[in-house]
Amino acid sequence: MTSAPVRLYAVVAAVLVFFVAWAVVAAHPWQRRTAAPDPRVAQLQALRLRLSRQSIEVQRVLDRRFAAYAAALQERRRTIALVQALNGRAAQAAAQPVSLPAAAPLPMVSALPAVTATRTS
């Protein structure tokens, strides 16, 4: 075994066998996997379920609020359009000349009684 390529193949094979053996030992294939589940995992799963239910309820509330908002917005837009239409008609009516009848002269009314002046000197 004096040949260099044979020695190289032997070293590579030995390293390969070493790492395969290491992986097998690290995997512990002889142990049973029926150990009790970690309580932290169970808590996390319960938390995930609770948050999922809460998110569904929150989404329902948001959907109801948005539907109410959309209905109120539509009603407000209708009201704005009606007011603008009425304002447009009022502006058109104000732009047309209006002829008023001539007013009769008003009588003069005095709140003080007539004064008679007498002079004394």
pLDDT tens track for 68-99: 999 999 999 999 999 988 888 877 777 777 67
**Which of 6-10, 26-30, 39-43, 52-56 is predicted with the least confidence, judged by mean pLDDT?**
26-30
pTM: 0.42
| Alpha-carbon span 56 to 16, nearest angstrom | 53
Output the 3-class SS for the chain: CCCHHHHHHHHHHHHHHHHHHHHHHHHCCCCCCCCCCCHHHHHHHHHHHHHHHHHHHHHHHHHHHHHHHHHHHHHHHHHHHHHHHHHHHHHHHHHCCCCCCCCCCCCCCCCCCCCCCCCCC
Quick one: tokens of 90? 């009022």
Rg (CA), the chain: 51
